[in-house]
Amino acid sequence: MRLTLAFLKEQQNQQEKPMMSHRGFVLVAMLALVTAVWLAVALVGAQAPAATPYTPPTSAYNAPRTPWGDPDLMGVWDYQSVIHMQRPDDLAGKARFTDAEYEAWAKANAPNRDTDTSQGVGAYNEFWNARNFLKNYNTSLIVDPPDGRYPALTPEAEKRRKEIVAKAREVASWEDYHALERCIASQTPNAPQAYNSGTYIMQSPGWVLIVRERLDTRLIPLDGRPHIGQNIRHWNGDPIGHWEGSTLVVDSTNFTDKQRGGGGSGASVPLGIPFGNFHLTEHFVPVSHNRIEYYATIDDPTTWTRPWTFNLPWERDDDYRIFEYACHEGNLALANSLRGERVQEAEAARKGQVRK
C-alpha cells in the first residue's frame, strides 16, 4: 500500500512539473512583452516629444474699460500684411527681421495686381485695393512651430487632401464651388486678404460682436456656457469667450466640414483641409490703444501631427468705412463659369479627349 501511494505521489509530481514550467514560461513571456511595449513607448516619446502648447506673449498695456467694466476693444480694425503665412525657404532659421530688413522685404514683396499676371487676367487691379500694410518683424505669420511652417499632415489627412483638391477641379454644379465663391462665408481664423478686410468689434454686457466687412458676423458670449451639441455645425464654429486681463480669449469648436475651400484670399488653412475637427483658440492681445496682436491656435490631431499658431497684427483704423458686402448683387460669375465648363467639355468630347 505504501509503495502504491509513493508511486502515485511520484506520478502526480511528474505531471505537475510540466504545468509549472508552462505557467512559468507564459509569465516570463508576458513580462517580456510588457517590457518591450514600455520600452517602445519610451523610445517613441524620446524621439518625438509632445509639442508644448503655445502661449502668446502677455502685454503690459491696460485697456480702457467699458461702462460695465470689460476691456474696451471697440472700433474698426484692419490687418493687411506683406508677411507670408509660412516662412520662405530663403529665410529658414531666421525668425525676425530688423527694421531695415523688413522695409526691404516689404518693398520687394508687396502684392501688386497691376503687374501680377501669373494667374491669368484676374479680377481687380490695385485701384480697388485700399492697402495699409502693418509693420510686422516676424518672417512668417506662423510662429509655432518655430520653423514658421505648417506641421506635417497625418497620412490620412494627406490622402483626404489630395482627394478634395482633385474634386475641387470638378465644377459640375454650383455646389462644387467653395463657400467664399458662393458668398456664404469666409474662414475663421482669417488671414490677410486683398480687400474688404475691415473688422468691426462691438461690445455689450456679456457679449462681443465681430463683424467682418466680407460676409461674416461672429456673436461671442462671455457667460461661460458650454459649447453646443456635436451634431450642430457652424461655418465659423461655435465661439465661447472670456477675458484674461485685457486679453479676449475665444474658444471655438463645432466647425463644419463643408468649410474646406482654403488656399484663397483671407484663408489661413491650405486647400483641401476640412474644418470639422478643428479646435480653435484665439487670443486678442491689445498692446496699445491702436494695436492688437491676434494669435490663432488650431489643434486637430486628425489633420496635423501637432497644433500650430499664427500671429497677425491688427491696427485701429478710424477712417475705414465698412460698407455692405453685396456679394451676389449682379453676380453672373457662377453661371458664366458653369457655362464655360460645359462648353469646354463639349469641345473635348467632340475631339475625343478627356478633360483633366
Q: What pLDDT, in 10s, does the model give residues 117-169?
A: 555 555 666 666 667 888 999 999 999 999 999 999 999 999 999 988 887 77
Q: What pLDDT, in 10s, does the model give residues 207-263?
A: 999 999 988 899 999 999 999 999 999 999 999 999 999 999 999 999 998 876 666
**Distance of alpha carbon 211 from alpha carbon 325, whole angstroms:** 11
**CB proximity list for 111: less than 8 A, separation 6 or greater:** 82, 131, 194
**Distance of alpha carbon 37 from alpha carbon 186, whole angstroms:** 46
Question: Picking from 55-59, 179-183, 205-209, 245-249, which range would have the lowest pLDDT averaged per residue?
Answer: 179-183
C-alpha cell at 253: 469648436
* Banded model confidence at residue 38, pLDDT cuts 50, 70, 90: very low
* Other Cβ atoms within 10 Å of 80 Cβ, number: 21
Indicate the SS3 state at residue 46.
helix
**Distance of alpha carbon 331 from alpha carbon 310, whole angstroms:** 34
Determine the pLDDT at residue 324. Answer: 84
Q: Is the pLDDT of residue 35 over 70?
A: no
- Contact 131/114 with Cβ under 8 angstroms? no
The residue among 306, 284, 287, 303 whose CA lies nearest residue 295 is 284
**Distance of alpha carbon 255 from alpha carbon 264, whole angstroms:** 18
C-alpha cell at 123: 479680377
**Distance of alpha carbon 302 from alpha carbon 231, whole angstroms:** 18
State if pTM tops 0.85.
Answer: no
**Distance of alpha carbon 138 from alpha carbon 30, whole angstroms:** 53
C-alpha cell at 268: 489661413
Q: What pLDDT, in 10s, does the model give residues 298-355?
A: 999 999 999 999 999 999 999 988 888 887 777 787 888 888 888 988 988 888 876 6
